[in-house]
Amino acid sequence: MGRGSLVALTMLNAVGVSLAGLGLLGAGLATWQFAGWVLSGTWPAAAAIWNESGLTGRLFVAFIAWLPQLLVAGALLHLAVAAIGAGLLWRRAWAWRAALVLAVGWIALAALGWFTARAALDDLATGYPTRAAFARAAELVASGVTLFGIALGAGLVILLIHPAVRDEFSAGS
């Protein structure tokens, strides 16, 4: 086995541990937040002023309205990510396929999020000139976050298609 193969397998272990740990952490934090709302009897609500803020405001109001459901979905997604990470560590063939789906989905969601944020921020900049500088700065941040997300997803795909990594999972199936 060459040095590149050993590095790929070491990186695979690191990805597995990271996905398992961060998946459990994300699920725990989302569950904690949701439990806080349930126990306190209070739910998030957007201020009425957001209804007068164009597309950005409407997106924010919709996000707040759907936040409890999004939080539950996020907790379940994080549990799935933790399971994928554990499956990668245990070299389960289903985990290899699931990690590929996760990586491609991550790239697609990053791009979709960027297009949505860009449309909302363009609307904010043109509809409210006093907020144009904020909108442009936020668009730059959104672009950087999107590129980082796409790079992470692409890096995971490249790692998963490495011959040594594929051999690890084909031997176990």
Every domain of the chain and the residues it spans:
3-167
Q: d(Cα 153, Cα 115) in Å, to the nearest integer?
A: 17
pLDDT > 70? residue 1: no
| Window from 8-22, 117-131, 154-168 with minimum mean pLDDT | 117-131
Angle between the N-to-C axes of helices 54-65 and 67-89, in degrees from 0 to 180, rounded to the nearest 10: 70
Quote the CA–CA distance of 74 and 47 in Å, as a whole number: 24
Which of 171, 164, 170, 173 has its CA nearest to residue 3?
A: 164
Token reading at 157 = 């795909």
| Mean pLDDT of the 23-52 span | 91
DSSP per-residue letters across 63-132 = HHHTHHHHHHHHHHHHHHHHHHHHHHHTT-HHHHHHHHHHHHHHHHHHHHHHHHHHHHHHHHHHH-GGGH
Burial-class residue 171 by CB neighbours within 10 Å (0-12, 13-18, 19+). Answer: exposed
Q: With CA atoms as reference, report the closest residue to 70 among 116, 22, 37.
A: 37
Residue 135 has pLDDT above 60, yes or no: yes
* Whether the predicted pLDDT of 27 surpasses 90: yes
**Sign of dihedral through CA atoms 57, 63, 67, 69?**
positive
Average pLDDT over every residue of 69-88: 96
Entry pTM: 0.85
Percent of the chain, pLDDT > 90? 69
Interval 132-139 mean pLDDT: 90
Q: pLDDT at residue 171 above 80?
A: no
Q: How many CB atoms lie within 10 A of CB 125?
A: 18
Q: What's the mean pLDDT when you consider all of the chain?
A: 91
Residue 32: the pLDDT is: 96
Mean pLDDT value across residues 81-90: 96
* 129 has a pLDDT exceeding 90: no
